[in-house]
């Protein structure tokens, strides 16, 4: 009997534990509780002339024309390029032939070393030439960049927009050149004996022929190599003056088994392959690069364009492209700015929790004057924000805080933040999580860019389950106190 009673008692304990577990474990979030964040919009960033992307080991390295230095950005998701911090790779001496007007940088890995090619001058455009720096570090974001020197053919004429590629075990350089920067500009090619030395004479493989190549100036520039699915060598280039709205992309095709150094083996497509679209807010689309989606299943183009006619700054954009039956790329029409596009295949698709049932569980202070209340953090309106500037006894660091109640314990992989417009933006904040709004655990300090209204994401070190999270500002992007935010939320990853 004692034995049977023991078994019965043990069974009852197990049953009670199981029931308790079912009651105590938080319920799994349902699809209705979340929004799938699977899209992005162009432009990626409000700048980005002459964009270039290199990818390796799941990372993308982005650079563009900044004029005075070489910069790099590293990201695992190009649709979130705006979140990548800037790294100054190389800054030239303030004087010298390559100290000014640094244009169209490109990052290439050749023979296990990194090289950045760029055009530069001494302040006079007529003196533009191509140069290259080298980095032996496996990581281009680290190590030292060393100037290898000027990259020039024997003529040593005006040259910009250099790019390199390997074809049948021979290294080549392509670039755009002309008469001291005056039109016409041609596309040249030459063999290279190493990544910093041109071997022999250059050959022109493209010159402006058609009216669409001569708007604002007879110009062929920005050559970029593209290999089609059949292994054929193609070159996409920019045509006309970059300052005109009708700046566009043209296409050169090397015939099968052709010689890249033989101009007769290249064919130019008589129409542009990518052109202005006023409806899309894409004026002067051009100077592009190419990359694959993270899973390698999709081909994408990165390019710059202006959002309004008649000039202005150029911004970087991306969109997927396909292939025509004849092996030529089908870039389609420039994607409309602000229109949701599916992210590149393989990028993280976050499940964003809906905040309708959330509440504010505490705050140090809030601004009543302009309705900048703590609840504005979770009202799904990026134009409203929480701040405490005009409140009674506004709190400063380190006593400034706000606490969010998600309504129940939820599994969380990370949080997102949206900066407010104007001043008083948070630069660093400490993030705490807890289950009872009393006992807290710090899960890290979040660094936020001065970037509005883009979402900025913070991945927790590991998946956590909690009900409350507290934001404690540590520093701001300016010297003013009481920094605030526009929106905050949480997400899980599939």
Q: Residue 50 catalytic?
A: yes
Report pLDDT digits (tens) over 178-197: 988 889 999 999 999 999 99
CB atoms within 10 A of CB 147: 15
Q: Which CATH architecture has domain 351-492?
A: Sandwich (2.60)
Average pLDDT, the chain: 93
d(CA 63, CA 104): 8
- What mean pLDDT do residues 480-485 have? 91
Report pLDDT digits (tens) over 444-458: 999 998 888 888 999
d(CA 204, CA 236): 15
Report the percent of the chain where pLDDT is more than 70: 95
**Residue 311, CA distances (Å) to 50, 52, 84, 315, 317 in order:** 15, 21, 27, 12, 17
Residue 4 pLDDT > 90: no
Q: What is the pTM of this model?
A: 0.84
Domain(s) of CATH 2.115.10.20: residues in the chain = 39-339
**Cβ–Cβ under 8 Å, residues 297 and 321:** no
Catalytic residue among 121, 161, 221, 347: 221
Report pLDDT digits (tens) over 10-49: 444 444 444 444 445 556 777 778 999 999 999 999 899 9
Greater pLDDT, 353 or 393? 353
Lowest mean pLDDT among 228-232, 393-397, 472-476: 393-397
- What mean pLDDT do residues 366-371 have? 92
**What single DSSP character describes residue 370?**
T
Q: Annotate 326-338 with b (16+ C-beta within 10 A) or e (fewer).
A: eebbebeebbeee
Domain(s) of CATH 2.60.120.260: residues in the chain = 351-492
- What mean pLDDT do residues 419-431 have? 94
Report pLDDT digits (tens) over 406-419: 999 999 999 999 99
Which residues lie across from 53 on neighbouring strands?
62
Report the percent of the chain where pLDDT is more than 90: 85
Which residues lie across from 343 on neighbouring strands?
none
The domain 39-339 having CATH identifier 2.115.10.20: the answer here is yes
d(CA 483, CA 320): 39
- What mean pLDDT do residues 109-129 have? 97
Q: Residue 221 catalytic?
A: yes
Look at residue 22 in the predicted model and tell me its pLDDT: 41
Look at residue 450 in the predicted model and tell me its pLDDT: 87
């Amino acid at each position: 009997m004692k034995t049977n009673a023991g078994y019965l008692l043990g069974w009852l304990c197990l049953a009670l534990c199981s029931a308790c577990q079912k009651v105590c474990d938080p319920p799994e979030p349902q699809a209705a509780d979340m929004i799938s964040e699977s899209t992005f919009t162009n432009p990626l960033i409000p700048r980005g002339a002459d964009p270039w992307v290199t990818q390796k080991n799941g990372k993308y390295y982005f650079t563009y024309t900044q004029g005075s230095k070489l910069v790099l950005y590293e990201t695992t998701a190009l649709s979130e390029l705006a979140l990548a911090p800037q790294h100054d790779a190389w800054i030239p001496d303030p004087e010298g032939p390559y100290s000014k007007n640094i244009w169209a940088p490109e990052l290439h890995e050749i023979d296990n070393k990194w090289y950045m090619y760029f055009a530069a001058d001494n302040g006079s455009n007529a003196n533009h030439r191509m140069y290259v720096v080298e980095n032996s570090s496996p990581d281009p974001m680290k190590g030292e960049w060393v100037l290898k020197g000027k990259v020039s053919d024997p003529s040593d004429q005006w040259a910009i927009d250099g790019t390199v590629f390997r074809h049948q075990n021979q290294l080549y350089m392509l670039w755009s050149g002309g008469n001291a920067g005056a039109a016409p500009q041609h596309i040249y090619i030459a063999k290279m004996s190493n990544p910093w030395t041109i071997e022999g004479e250059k050959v022109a493989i493209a010159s402006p022929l058609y009216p669409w190549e001569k708007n604002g100036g007879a110009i062929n520039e920005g050559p970029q190599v593209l290999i089609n699915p059949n292994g054929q060598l193609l070159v996409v280039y920019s045509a006309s003056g970059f300052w005109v709205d009708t700046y566009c992309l043209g296409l050169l095709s090397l015939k099968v088994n052709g010689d890249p150094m033989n101009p007769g083996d290249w064919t130019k497509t008589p129409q542009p392959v990518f052109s202005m679209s006023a409806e899309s807010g894409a004026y002067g689309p051009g100077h592009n690069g190419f990359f694959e989606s993270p899973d390698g299943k999709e081909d994408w183009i990165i390019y710059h364009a202006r959002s309004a006619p008649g000039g202005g700054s150029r911004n970087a954009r991306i969109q997927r492209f396909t292939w025509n039956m004849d092996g030529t790329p089908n870039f389609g029409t420039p994607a409309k700015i602000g229109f949701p596009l599916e992210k590149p295949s393989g990028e993280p698709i976050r499940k964003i929790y809906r905040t309708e049932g959330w509440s504010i569980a505490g705050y140090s202070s809030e601004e009543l004057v302009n309705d900048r209340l703590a609840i504005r953090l979770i009202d799904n309106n990026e134009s409203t924000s929480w701040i405490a500037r005009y409140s009674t006894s506004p709190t400063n660091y380190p006593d400034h805080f706000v606490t969010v109640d998600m309504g129940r314990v939820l599994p969380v992989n990370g949080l997102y933040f949206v900066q407010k417009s104007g001043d008083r933006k948070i630069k660093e904040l400490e993030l705490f999580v807890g289950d009872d709004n009393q006992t807290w655990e710090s899960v890290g300090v979040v660094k936020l860019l001065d970037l509005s209204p883009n979402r900025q994401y913070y991945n927790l070190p590991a998946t956590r389950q909690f009900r409350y999270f507290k934001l404690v500002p540590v520093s701001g992007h300016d010297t003013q106190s009481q920094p605030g935010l526009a929106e905050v939320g949480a997400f899980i990853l599939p």
